[in-house]
Structure 1
Amino acid sequence: MVRDLGWNQVDTVYTHHDRILDFDVFVLVTNGRMQVVEGTTEYIIQEKEHLFLKKGLHHWGRPETLPGTSWFWVHFISPEYDSPSYKEHAPLAEIDFFYPDHYAYRFPMPKHGTSPFHRTLENKLQLLVEDFGKPTEHGMVQLSIQVYQLFLQLHKSMKEHSHSTRNSGKGETVAGRVMTFLMQHSDEDFDSEKLSNHLNLNYSYISATFKTQTGLSVIETHTKLRINKAMDWMRSTSLNVSEISEKLGYKNPYYFSRVFKKVIGESPSAYMSHFYKS
């Protein structure tokens, strides 16, 4: 939720304010460089770099920000979600059914740095500054949505930039290879030995690494992929529950129905009743 935002430029040596805020701050330096300390950690924000400052921490600086330095800033408030149901991993893109718990996750923003996206960030922020304060209906809501989208783009760009500037280690490739295998075998029962042989890795290592990177177990992901395929057939075909169960390799439709209800929260027939079919 945006509190305020703007642009600033200094003509003399600048010292960052000594303060503790009850809101978060986003800074993008567009020219020069800025020095700021958060708690006991010093940051030098170079041109086309950003920094997030977290609320409740002591922010201060020394007279080291160069004359001519300019920057955009956004002051915003992040709701506090202390619920243990909020996951630390984003949902897997391949599992695309959306229920309320799909959105119950949090993700960390990149604290400090730059990426190719930062080259266009200045223009995007300039447009937001021009819109800020205009007397339009729902203006601050629209502005907050735009800032949220901007932060999502920043998150994606920094993640992609990080992957492209360093070699992926063995562990980082496991989740992708597992997902490829599971998607190719979503119409059959899970076979840990088959997966282990395919990846030429110990299954205990595969299982632990996948869980760390995705927040889900391999078996849980395989089950959700199967149910996802079942849901797609329910939406787009005239197959009945028994036919779908058989196509997915379940031993009997009653077991399939139990699994479906456990994952989705309602029976296959109840789910199918939501769609308009001739």
Structure 2
Amino acid sequence: MSHPVIISSSSFPLLHEIGLMSDEKGLEKHPDRVMEKLNVFVYVIKGQLQVIEDNEIYTLKKGSYLFLRKNIHHWGDEFYQPGSQWFYIHFFTNDVQENVNEYSTYGKTSLIHHEEYQRKLTMPKYGEVSHLGYTESQLEQILEMFESSHPMRPLVTSMYTHQFFLDLYLENLEAYTNKKSNRIVAKMIQLIDKRDRQKLSSQEISESLGMNYAYLSSLFKQHTGKSITQYQNERMVEKAIQLFRKENFNVSEVSDKLGFSNPFYFSRVFKKVTGMSPSDYLRQIYRG
């Protein structure tokens, strides 16, 4: 059974220790242990390591990595391959509630809501990196900061580690972008984003993709965490904000330019998305 390491999108992993290890003669095995509070990350530079977690066997070779979850028994039965070299990171994470949704890279606008930070990032259990040199330079940077006398060493090393883990997370996501369901959602987003004014109707979306709207709506929600209507509203408000900032248009002008039926409906949508009315927003911003 796989035990994924889960990171909250509202906090970064807190680094406890990072090290660069080697076993020139192949005399060592992975430690037999249960680390109650610490997660483990292992990345192999050269050679081969065997790691077993809860009876699941992983063979790590050059360019591969593994995340081990805290409080789960892990060990190694086989000796490391002679000449092996690897990085390890021990880090703390805050526990994430089971009902928290996975972070989605789909359906993003320039409007950032508080809910964006209430998500979870399920790290890939095992993987191979595409750019070995870049990965090793990132780990060397974290190690260098960890060994430095920087006055904010714990925070800076944790920030570097967070960025490194996010890069692995994103690289792993790219491997799944060719799934049929992902391609359909990407087409929907492309269709919506091309629209300059007025929201697309459910019929227009359904006919453009040649698929049932109820199915498309369910798929969109599953992948983005938003309804199609919510995403379209955010896109329209995003365009409205650009017009307010760059063109100095008033509420009625923007409402008309974006194809809303009337300024009152536009204001209601704007407030639902941003939490404030267009007039309140205009009083708070710098205008070009």
TM-score of the two chains, using structure 1 as the length reference: 0.91
Answering whether residue 105 of structure 2 is matched by residue 95 of structure 1, we say no
Question: Aligned pair in 2 of structure 1 residues 76, 7: CA closer, same or farther (>3 Å)?
Answer: same
Question: Aligned pair in 2 of structure 1 residues 12, 169: CA closer, same or farther (>3 Å)?
Answer: closer
Letter in 2 for 1:69: S
Q: Which residue of 1 aligns with 2:84?
A: 69
Q: Percent identity?
A: 31
Q: CA shift at 1:230, angstroms?
A: 1.2
Aligned partners of 1:81, 1:39: CA distance in 2, in Å? 21
Q: Which residue of 2 aligns with 1:27?
A: 42
Q: Which residue of 2 aligns with 1:143?
A: 157
Q: Which residue of 1 aligns with 2:19?
A: 6
Letter in 2 for 1:8: M
Answering whether residue 119 of structure 2 is matched by residue 109 of structure 1, we say no
Q: CA shift at 1:9, angstroms?
A: 0.8
Partner residue of 1:205 out of 189, 202, 215: 215
Taking the TM superposition and a 5 Å limit, the aligned residue runs for 1:77-226 are 77-82=92-97, 86-90=100-104, 92=106, 94-160=108-174, 162-163=175-176, 168-185=178-195, 187-226=197-236
SS of 2:284's equivalent?
coil
Letter in 2 for 1:265: G
Q: CA RMSD in A?
A: 2.0
SS of 2:150's equivalent?
coil
Q: CA shift at 1:176, angstroms?
A: 0.9
SS of 1:20's equivalent?
coil
Q: CA shift at 1:264, angstroms?
A: 1.1
Letter in 2 for 1:71: W
Compare 49-58 and 59-68 and name the one that shifted more: 59-68
Aligned partners of 1:198, 1:93: CA distance in 2, in Å? 18
Tell me if the contact between 1:94 and 1:225 (Cα under 8 Å) persists in the aligned partners.
no
Letter in 1 for 2:182: E
Tell me if the contact between 1:33 and 1:69 (Cα under 8 Å) persists in the aligned partners.
yes
Residues 158-212 of structure 1: CA deviation (Å, up to 9, x unaligned): 333x248xxx243221111101111122521331111111112221221122222
Aligned partners of 1:247, 1:212: CA distance in 2, in Å? 32
SS of 1:179's equivalent?
helix
Aligned partners of 2:114, 2:70: CA distance in 1, in Å? 28
Aligned partners of 1:272, 1:83: CA distance in 2, in Å? 40
Q: Which residue of 2 aligns with 1:270?
A: 280
Aligned partners of 2:199, 2:46: CA distance in 1, in Å? 58
Structure with more contact order per residue of length (Cα contacts < 8 Å, sep ≥ 6): 2
Aligned partners of 1:149, 1:111: CA distance in 2, in Å? 17
Q: CA shift at 1:67, angstroms?
A: 2.3
Q: Which residue of 1 aligns with 2:63?
A: 48
Aligned partners of 2:196, 2:219: CA distance in 1, in Å? 20
Tell me if the contact between 2:104 and 2:223 (Cα under 8 Å) persists in the aligned partners.
no
Residues 90-127 of structure 1: CA deviation (Å, up to 9, x unaligned): 35464111243332222222211113133421222123
Taking the TM superposition and a 5 Å limit, the aligned residue runs for 1:227-266 are 227-266=237-276
In the comparison of the two structures, how many residue pairs are matched? Answer: 273
In structure 2, list runs of 5 or more residues that go unmatched.
Answer: 1-13
Tell me if the contact between 1:35 and 1:42 (Cα under 8 Å) persists in the aligned partners.
yes
Compare 102-111 and 265-274 and name the one that shifted more: 102-111
Letter in 2 for 1:2: L
Aligned partners of 1:37, 1:83: CA distance in 2, in Å? 25
